A and B are shown apart, each in its own frame.
Chain A
Amino acid sequence: QSVLTQPPSVSAAPGQKVTISCSGSSSNIGNNYVSWYQQLPGTAPKLLIYDINKRPSGIPDRFSGSKSGTSATLGITGLQTGDEADYYCGSWDSSLSAGVFGGGTKLTVL
């Protein structure tokens, strides 16, 4: 069981918007940074969002991040079939002194 909680799956039509939630606690999301990763089938995870809402170079602004209290959200607008992937949230847990990930959310673009 993962320290951070994500929905197992979400789906939406091409061109639409989807959000993926990540719930944690005061020892991780509530008082530490949040990152989001995209894992396309058969590939290594790729950093999408860091420091709650910053995008690395090359990541389109269709991807956004936010945080409220002990939860974080990844937003994806203008969905494309190429966005079908598993998405993971990550944070640092101060109580564990360790990194933690969510269980992952599979995005289906119908």
Chain B
Amino acid sequence: QLQLQESGPGLVKPSETLSLTCTVSGGSITNSNYCWGWIRQPPGKGLEWIGTIFYSGRTYYNPSLKSRVTISVDTSKNQFSLKLSSVTAADTSVYYCARHVRSSGSEDYWGQGTLVTVSS
């Protein structure tokens, strides 16, 4: 059974860089049928798509976040990562990693999510 697990600091200071890693187990991140992505959800609000990466390194980003977002992949560790720079309180959210099915465009497996709070 595929599992995804987010890890990283739960508290980040304003203007600093948020860094999260998603570890994939039970399946290979190099499977060409899938991409790997990040979605976030501010407390009490809806889902926001952040971006996705193919194992080759090809990325797609939300235009509203593109200038601050970097998603990378480490195939040797079966992990992919998110960096969001210059964070503000508005970036406080639960961050989810997910597997994106290329043929249907859906996210079929999700991590449990991790709350990241931006505060001094």
Contact = CB atoms under 8 A, between A and B. Distances in A.
Interface of A: 2, 32-33, 35, 37, 43-47, 50-51, 54, 56, 86, 88, 90-92, 96-104
Contacts of A56: 108
A104 B105 contact: no
A98 B51 CA distance: 7
Given A44-B113, A45-B96, A45-B110, A92 B62 contact: no
Contacts of A47: 106-108
Contacts of B105: 32-33, 35, 50, 90-92, 99
Contact of B46 (A35, A44, A92, A104): A104
Contacts of B47: 37, 45, 88, 90, 101, 104
Interface of B: 37, 39, 46-49, 51-52, 60-63, 96, 100-101, 103-108, 110-113
Given A44-B113, A50-B101, A99-B49, A90 B63 contact: no
20 contacts: A35-B104, A35-B105, A44-B111, A44-B113, A45-B47, A46-B110, A51-B103, A51-B104, A92-B105, A97-B60, A98-B63, A99-B39, A99-B60, A99-B62, A99-B105, A100-B49, A101-B46, A101-B47, A103-B46, A104-B46
A38 to B, nearest CB: 11
Judged by DSSP, the binding face of B is strand
A44 B112 contact: yes
Contacts of A33: 104-106
The 10 closest A-B pairs by CB, nearest first: A99-B49, A35-B106, A50-B106, A33-B105, A104-B46, A44-B110, A50-B104, A101-B47, A51-B104, A92-B105
Contacts of A96: 62-63
A45 B60 CA distance: 21
Contact of A50 (B37, B39, B108): B108
